[in-house]
A and B are shown apart, each in its own frame.
Chain A
């Protein structure tokens, strides 16, 4: 991956003046009402906020899954507004990784095949050493031929993380990655997300309700009613909880 552009500007993803309105007339809902945000290379950002605050909408806009009503998104130096649907799709498969709350692994593919899926969709070469490294890193090298149904939730989410990392994207968006996990699974996946940032220099944004998850982040953004209402640096889970309480 090329760092030419990013060396000068550490911001890999930039959103400026983002608004999103669903529906029109009296039924219109403003999910985002003017959000400007950027993500520096090699950082872990947590986006917090109550349900309906616009967290998911923000992620969808930044990832090119949806288009803003107004405002601009730059992803790895490319302005998304210039791209059509196909262009956004190609950009997404090369520059964005996703970790979903529901894991969303394909049931008929093995662990290794699921991890390789984005690269295969893109029709690119697969580097076996990189795949092997990721399998070791998520601790599932012995289960590379297993199917998702044979894995625990935590294991599935680790596969999903490896799938997000395989194409060395500019940014990984993790939408409630611990929402369906028990405490041990949560701990393991958070550690792995942190290591991806520290060891690989990966840029990651997690959307979460969980103060424990947010406490691993370098920076925490708080959303409410479609606006960023607060931004803090690294905080303890207790302090995060207090901040959330003051906002409500």
Chain B
């Protein structure tokens, strides 16, 4: 009977069902969305690096970002078993639209690459042909569509040279990284960026029969500054390197998933306990009419199951949309994420479903259990009108206060006194935060009661209450069930905290990247292209000529390009007029590569405050 009754109750209370299911759906969507996003990001990075070396068997590149001399290409070609060996150059470029404005970078700085034979490249020619000669370029399809360029159009580009016009002879697919792409002929790009005959890397494809031992034969020929790696190992090295640098991103996302889970659970629980309170009357009548606790609880469970399944399924469907939104948010902040389809792993779906249904079941069962714990007469009395409890309230409040203080205190200690590696500190922060949160949840009802009596004892409160009953009624309602009020408040609090956390986190990512520049670029003033665009070489020359500039440092996407005597295009320039205060010495490999080339006055000290 309870089953039929519950079903009818559910069907006829569509609104209640819908609200509870939507709440479940929200929680599940957040959880599974974050999981989908994490999976997607991870997979995209792997794909990105797997493709970035094209289809070469061996990649030869300079150690510590040094250039590979052109002679090496010729030597490698003569190695037995080598079918194709092609030098590749990849530099940053600024694309100027027909209106004269810089075309904003997509995801990462726009890149100029040298044309590669089809078998080594993941860039495909859609129309036209590969560029030949100094004034021809191919451009990626999305950028071409955006600016209305077709084969035969002229585009203005800032390369290592002042702004000049090139003829579009081909439209190509965009690389998986999603950057805007300009393709030059190898010789053209070498001369535009002042590289001589040097290249950034050499891509080698072997004859099928000669694959084993090929890399060994190649290595014997290479100068000390150049290394050869099988593509596979290079890819895995890159993936692990990037995974490490993005571990904080993933950690953050996992933290979001946990917080989402917590909010979802609390909201679901709260919704159910409110509906249980509203149903108090019905439950009391059922109890009086002889429904056992088991029947009431199983009715609650069936309801929870319905709401949980409906909400969780909806949530799992909405989850990927949530993931897309998060992706957009991160893109919008300029954090470069690779493009690619969403990755839906069964685990993300299963976890979402389990969480939704599990939380809904627990959330439905607890209030039902609580409703049946009271004798039916209590329930009838509550149904007739809720009464504040008396008796053990004072003892309970005292215990609650002590417990809350202990939890919050310990949580803060754990958070503030954490030391060790970043991951360890992050983990401890999470644990401490959870303790503080639980402590606040425990303290909630006390705070509500406290605020309630504070409001009641405010000067003039009684006089005002006589004139206008509404505020005091509102106050009464607030403290009628402090636990429920506190729980509603807590969901709201966590929601606001989450919104804030996302803001802080995204802001933090942005700040971290600019801090990275601050720590590595040690001048008083930095000049950067907007939206990741390159700074043209003539700007660098002009900056050098400014009277008060003592030293100048250019930073390119690849350090090796600074090896040339002529300053090439850079993504930023640091200018220094004085010696900044000594500070933490930079440690990343990128920074080392900077320092080796950095003029005196800019090394070993952090960029100081900008003097005006």
Contacts and interface: CB of A to CB of B under 8 A. Distances in A.
A93 B282 contact: no
Interface in A99-153: 100, 102, 104, 106-109, 113, 117-118, 120-123
A89 B375 CA distance: 10
Nearest to B10: A108
B289 A121 contact: yes
B376 A65 contact: yes
Interface in B38-70: none
Interface of A: 23, 27, 60, 65-66, 85-86, 89-90, 92-94, 96, 98, 100, 102, 104, 106-109, 113, 117-118, 120-123, 163
Interface SS of chain A: helix, strand, loop or mixed? helix
Secondary structure call for the B interface: helix
A66 B287 contact: no
Nearest to B281: A104
Given A23-B391, A108-B9, A108-B12, A122 B375 contact: no
Contacts of A23: 390-391
B227 interface: no
A106 B375 contact: no
Contacts of B289: 92-93, 98, 117-118, 121, 163
Given A27-B390, A65-B288, A109-B8, 5 more contacts: A65-B375, A92-B289, A106-B9, A106-B286, A123-B1
Contact of B8 (A27, A85, A98, A108): A108
27 contacts: A65-B288, A65-B375, A65-B380, A66-B377, A86-B292, A89-B287, A89-B290, A89-B291, A89-B293, A89-B376, A90-B290, A92-B288, A92-B289, A93-B290, A98-B288, A102-B384, A104-B285, A108-B8, A108-B12, A113-B8, A117-B286, A118-B290, A121-B289, A121-B290, A121-B291, A123-B1, A163-B289
Interface in B280-302: 281-282, 285-293, 295
Contacts of B285: 100, 104, 106
B492 to A, nearest CB: 30
Contacts, number: 67
Contacts of A92: 288-290
Interface residues of B, number: 27
Nearest to B287: A89
A108 B290 contact: no
Contacts of B377: 60, 65-66
A26 to B, nearest CB: 13
A100 B375 CA distance: 17
A96 to B, nearest CB: 8
B13 interface: yes
B12 to A, nearest CB: 4
B413 to A, nearest CB: 41
Interface in B326-376: 375-376
Contacts of A96: 290
Contacts of B286: 106, 117, 121
